[in-house]
Chains A and B, each alone.
Chain A
Amino acid sequence: MRVGQNPAKFVNQVARPERITVAILNYIPFLSGFYAEMLDVLRTCLDSVRQDAGLPFDLLVFDNGSCAEVQDYLLGEQRAGHIQYLILSEKNLGKGGAWNIILSGAPGEIIAYADNDVLFYPGWLSESVRLLETFPRVGMVTSRPFITKREYLTHTLAWAQSNPEVQVEEGKFIPWETYYEFARSLGQEPEVIRQDFEKDSCFRLTYRGVSAIAGASHWQFVAYKSVLAEFLPFDMNRPMGQVKQLDERMNQAGYLRLMLTEPRVMNMSNTLRGIRYPEAPTTPRVSRRLWDWSPLRAVLLSLHDAIFRLYFNR
């Protein structure tokens, strides 16, 4: 039975979520074979995402049924105050199933989604949100340029070509180094990358003084939650491979799909080899509150308990 008054009723204000939720989807079922270095990759991903994103955000991590070592690491990160929302799933829902929970539950007005093998460079979030807020009817923004499928660009290009405010240019707007490092991260051979680079081109769109490359991708994107809600739920029953639906359906629905002109994120895949690290992070000082000092906490909580017993426990 209820004894006394729940003190939660006297809390006048609760924490307000940040406008932006950064959501990372993680799945590392074991730490050998393909996943041997994945805990280091995840650690690098989470360290870099907090480093000078350019805008405040809450960090959400969805763990899709990883092994105990990985879940223990994530629990430690949350205890250290580095993760605001941690979702541990007992089973692997697949990427689409996890998206259904992440993209509908995350409390931010803007959701910045990334796979667990993304490396973030300073300013990635502020630059991405600038595109999101400058261009009209943006569906998703990916925070680096790379070559994407043209069939998913049709609406973006049609809008740009019919809008006199937009300058549309086709050419090699992705420098070789940027092109190569991304293609190489996918495991492509250097010779193949060189051949592809010679024949590939992309579209640069400039609108109200801000430039973007046409295209985006489901492995990392920034989007309005309200826009993503139009594409939920994803009907997916396989672990991977069907999330391209988002790229396709967003284009069909008439939303713009854009990328930054400079690389602000990088795909690490399953190793740290060939990674260009951001500037070394400065370790933030952990501010501790006086009343969290153990002896004082014990005394004050004892006082709290005594008052409860005096007035409520009858």
Chain B
Amino acid sequence: MRIGQNPARIDTPAYTPQKIGLASLVFIPHLEGYFQQSLSILRAHLMSLHAHTQEPFDLLVFDNGSCREVKDFLNEMQVAGWIRWLVSSEVNLGKTGALNWILAALPNPIVGYADSDVFFRRGWLQASLDILEGFPQVGIVTAQPCFFDILRGEGRAAAHVFTPEQIEPYTPEAWVVEEYCRGINAPADLRQRYLSTPLPLVRNAQGVAAVLGASHMQFIAYREVLQQVLPLPATRGLSPEEDRVFNQRIDDLGYLHLSTSRPLVVHMGNTIDPHLQPEVEAALGTAISASPQLSLPSGGSLPRRWLGRLAKARPFKRYFLQLYNALYEIYSER
């Protein structure tokens, strides 16, 4: 039974969310193999976000069933005041399953999203806001020039807003293309294509430039726009097709995909590239070791040498990769 009066009833104001809410989605099921450096990447992601965002914001981190070490790290980050809302899911709901949560739940009028392997550079948010608030019919804005057209040439919204004369060709500097290609480990032919193909650029009356196209890896958008595309299909762990539904619905509603002309975010992937190392170290405030080249198991103990020899035999590759994926499924399931 109730004894006394609940002191929460006194008229103290509750916290009012900021205008901008940013969300990060984390999934690191273990710290082996592909995910060996993921905790360092996650730390660089969060620290760069805080170090390089001047505007006030609320940060929501959605942990999609990561391992104990990652959950402990995120709890420590929240206790230290870096994370406003920490959502911890016992199981992996898939990327779009988590997006359904995040984009519906964030209470802020402007919502930002990023995968947990995105590195933020100074000024990324203001440049994104200049585009979001400076163009009509904006859907999502990415803070990196968009090279990959996720709508595969089928996007229609831009044609309703801009005439062909308003779209100018834009060739980013070579390092910008190189950096993007290194982030996704692009093969040589794709790198060459990006280097030789200009991007479509538009400008508003104030002279703000934006590249047509955006990515679901990182974006900001108005909450009311995002509400219109939910819920997204969510049956797979990480599915380009399910991701694409998000972009398709934005376009179908007549909203634009836009991106900044300068790379103000970078995709780190699952290792820290040596060329990013100085920036990452500056954001972390500490030196990190360069991505160590992992030793191949062909050296070392007898079982490892035996495994290494077997792996070189072509017929075994398929079985090894099946085993790799099966072990992943076992240890990413909770």
Interface residues of A (CB under 8 A from B): 1-17, 27, 29, 33-34, 68, 75, 78-79, 81, 83-94, 96-97, 100-102, 104-105, 107, 184-187, 233, 236-241, 268-271, 273-274, 291, 297, 300-313
Contact = CB atoms under 8 A, between A and B. Distances in A.
B294 to A, nearest CB: 5
B175 interface: no
A32 to B, nearest CB: 11
A94 B297 CA distance: 54
Interface stretch (B84-92, B121-129, B151-159): B84-92
A234 to B, nearest CB: 10
B93 A27 contact: no
B74 to A, nearest CB: 9
Contact of B311 (A29, A240, A310): A310
Contacts of B19: none
Interface in B217-246: 234-239
A34 B4 contact: yes
Contact of B27 (A8, A90, A269, A274): A8
5 contacts: A8-B238, A100-B107, A101-B105, A301-B331, A306-B307
B12 A239 contact: yes
Contact of B270 (A3, A239, A300): A3
Contact of B271 (A3, A75, A87, A297): A3
Contact of A238 (B14, B88, B304): B14
B174 interface: no
A86 B85 CA distance: 10
Given A87-B85, A93-B14, A6 B238 contact: yes
A306 B330 CA distance: 16
Contacts of B5: 34
Given A84-B91, A101-B107, A310-B307, A304 B33 contact: yes
B135 interface: no
A76 B100 CA distance: 26
A96 to B, nearest CB: 8
A270 B2 contact: yes
Contact of B323 (A84, A187, A307): A307
Contacts of A16: 235
A146 to B, nearest CB: 14
A2 B177 CA distance: 15
B145 interface: no
Contacts of A27: 8
A100 B85 CA distance: 13
Sort A-B residue pairs by CB-CB distance and give the 10 closest, nearest first: A94-B14, A105-B105, A11-B237, A2-B269, A269-B2, A308-B33, A14-B94, A91-B15, A15-B91, A7-B328
Interface string B283-305: 00000000001111110000010
A142 to B, nearest CB: 18
A15 B27 CA distance: 14
Contact of A87 (B16, B86, B236, B329): B86
Nearest to A291: B330
Given A90-B85, A91-B15, A308-B32, A3 B8 contact: no
Contacts of A34: 3-7
A237 B13 contact: yes
A311 B237 contact: no
B19 to A, nearest CB: 14
B4 A239 contact: no
Contacts of B27: 8
Contacts of B36: 305
B67 to A, nearest CB: 10
Contacts of B49: none
Given A8-B332, A187-B3, A237 B107 contact: no
Interface in B268-282: 268-271, 273
Given A8-B238, A270-B6, 17 more contacts: A1-B268, A2-B269, A6-B34, A7-B328, A11-B236, A16-B235, A17-B93, A33-B7, A34-B3, A186-B1, A187-B2, A239-B12, A240-B6, A271-B3, A306-B297, A307-B320, A313-B294
Category for how many chain B residues contact A? 35 or more
Contacts of B83: 90
Given A79-B68, A84-B91, A187-B2, A300 B331 contact: yes
Contacts of B102: 105
Interface string B244-265: 0000000000000000000000
Given A2-B183, A240-B8, A311 B3 contact: no
A268 B297 CA distance: 59
A105 B105 CA distance: 4
Contact of A78 (B88, B183, B296): B88
A184 B15 CA distance: 32
B231 to A, nearest CB: 9
A29 B12 CA distance: 14
A25 to B, nearest CB: 12
Interface in B65-93: 65, 68, 71, 75, 78-79, 81, 83-93
A8 B237 CA distance: 5
B101 A105 contact: yes
Nearest to A13: B235
Q: Which of B33, B83, B94, B268 has the most CB of A within 10 A?
A: B33
A3 B185 contact: yes
A305 B107 contact: no
Contacts of B39: none
Interface string B134-174: 00000000000000000000000000000000000000000
A102 B105 CA distance: 7
B189 interface: no
Q: Which of A5, A6, A9, A241 has the most CB of B within 10 A?
A: A6
